[in-house]
Amino acid sequence: MYIVVSYDIPEDKRRTKIHSILKSYGQWMQYSVFECNLSDTQYAKLRSRLSEVLKPECDSIRFYFLCACCQGKVERIGGEPLRDNSIFFA
């Protein structure tokens, strides 16, 4: 499944941990946005790892699931080219 993950974490230390976790599952696209191509198992593990760090009363993480058709409609102008998603291991 192709997922766009965005987050808003006010505390630097926790934000760094969240960023580090997401970096092992997908590609960092913008300051608080990752694109991930994950299996169901990888997604479950990612959610679990994020939940261990997240403070729901002040932090926010959003998961946007894109179907194959929608994924093909993503338009990019500038920025780093996409990496091969098959290199990410959880």
Tell me the residue range of the domain where 33 lies.
2-77
- DSSP H or E run through 54: none
pLDDT reported for residue 84: 58
Asked whether residue 89 is domain-assigned, the answer is no
Q: Residue 51 maps to which CATH number? A: 3.30.70.240
| The model's pTM | 0.81
pLDDT reported for residue 76: 75
Asked whether residue 84 is domain-assigned, the answer is no
Q: How many domains does the chain have?
A: 1
Asked whether residue 56 is domain-assigned, the answer is yes
Asked whether residue 82 is domain-assigned, the answer is no
Q: Which residues of the chain carry a pLDDT beneath 50? A: 86-90
What is Dmax (Cα atoms) for the chain?
37
pLDDT reported for residue 82: 66
Name the one residue in this structure whose structure tokens are 């790892």.
49
